[in-house]
Amino acid sequence: MGRLFGTDGVRGVANADLTAELALGLSVAAAHVLAEAGTFAGHRPVAVVGRDPRASGEFLEAAVVAGLASAGVDVLRVGVLPTPAVAYLTGALGADLGVMLSASHNAMPDNGVKFFARGGQKLADELEDRIEDTYHSHAAGEPWDRPTGAGVGRVKAYDEGFDRYVAHLVAVLPNRLDGLKVVLDEAHGAAARVSPEAFTRAGAEIVTIGTDPDGLNINDGCGSTHLDLLKAAVVDHGADLGIAHDGDADRCLAVDAKGEEVDGDQILAVLALALREAGGLRKNTVVGTVMSNLGFKLAMEREGIDLVQTAVGDRYVLEEMKAQGYALGGEQSGHVIILDHATTGDGTLTGLMLAARVVATGRPLDELAAVMRRLPQVLINVRDVDKSRVASSPELTAAVAEAEAELGSTGRVLLRSSGTEPLVRVMVEAADIDHARAVAGRLADVVKSALG
């Protein structure tokens, strides 16, 4: 049986892979594991539960709440809020556990369950493993030890969560956004109310798209995975920049006034310089991943900033940041972690900080982003293959070695299994886009033949 937890919680097609029974069972298991670990010692446990607007989030939230309350955990339902808001509120309210129902950037039929530990931190791998093992043992028939009477958990809405989170976002900005015109694409997702409110309170003039979630349209042709609407809107409205989030708003991508994309690497580069200028870039280091564009690495070298690279996944970036005391890290996809103000990637916070830098410097976003030159990068997702054999296929190993020799020092190759989807990602960088496409295409064909 494959593991339930990926790099970002438990995710799958709602009501097929991720059922109400699974969500309930995992929640009960999480409560028992955290109790055994001493998290609940000496007090009545409290959990914060939020979700994105997916239709399936309604029944999955009900299942999670029922599971937690049946295990003796009091539940604060914060409703539809971004993933980083649930993490923030878990810490700010002194809760023992946070649970977010979301499949982030995935299409509407998917959903996911993500757990946060006390303080709004991501659960350690060891605790996730114990939760999964506990779930399986009880699903096989082992009975739960259940509280009764006054021991069961109580459930109530915590409607103040929205205002508390927005106030936090605005309070940590280094300067206001007065005079700035921003287009916001909220992907019909969890930040549809939060982000416009935060930018408005910070003083920006805003234009919004993707702010009418109906439970079915999340990430549908909009948001950080589909930037065309935002690019057109920024140009049409003569805006200074555009900000796009994904369904749970832990990502942020941007668009400059000319309608050109500014990706996560460029945002990191801009914010790294801003933090260094403010004296907040601890150890003069920014954390990226092995997927960071080579141009980002070269830019940081030129600016005299150290770059540490981790495995792909914001959880690995965060682990490195916490272990070494770094302040800034993130991914090309737009997960940016500003550790002094958030415990996880926060797309709204990132967008606000980027906009604040534009105002503070008086320079347009395209000029700020020009600190790095993105080398052409081609990414091909190869589906319906055995992703577990990526590292053990001799045919694939030989093909990668041949490609690396062909590219030399002007490019690179990266093959990796997705942590959240059943596919293998083939990434190739080269000085020339046509060369990158040709090499990536050849490697994708080898992946299909070797792992299909």
Residues identified as active-site: 104
What letter represents residue 331's amino acid? E
- Establish whether 104 is an annotated binding residue: yes
How many residues can be counted in the chain?
452
Q: 46-51 and 74-80: which strand pairing?
A: parallel
Residue 244's DSSP bridge partners are: 185, 253
Tell me which residue of 67, 73, 89, 78 sits closest to 39, measured CA to CA.
73
Give 421's contacts (C-beta < 8 A, 6+ positions apart).
106, 381
Judging by beta carbons within 10 Å of its beta carbon (0-12, 13-18, 19+), is residue 51 exposed, middle or buried?
buried
Question: Does residue 56 have a known ligand-binding role?
Answer: no
Give CA–CA dist 210/219, Å, rounded. Answer: 9
Burial class (CB in 10 A: 0-12, 13-18, 19+), 405: exposed
Task: Name residue 77's beta-bridge partners.
Answer: 49, 157
Give the strand order in the sheet containing 261-262: 205-209, 181-185, 241-244, 253-256, 261-262
Residues sharing a CB contact under 8 Å with residue 232, sequence separation 6 or more, in sequence order:
259
396 with 444: CB under 8 angstroms? Answer: no
Cα–Cα distance, 5 to 382 (Å, whole number): 21
Note whether 65 and 37 are within 8 A (CB).
no
* Residue 250 labeled ligand binder: yes
Q: Cα–Cα distance between 422 and 452 in angstroms, integer? A: 12
Q: How far apart are CA 81 and CA 157, in angstroms?
A: 13
Q: Are 262 and 230 in contact (CB under 8 A)?
A: no
- Strands in 412-417's sheet, in edge-to-edge order, are 377-383, 423-429, 412-417
Q: Which residues are annotated as a binding site?
A: 104, 246, 248, 250
Q: Which residues are annotated as a binding site for Mg(2+)?
A: 104, 246, 248, 250
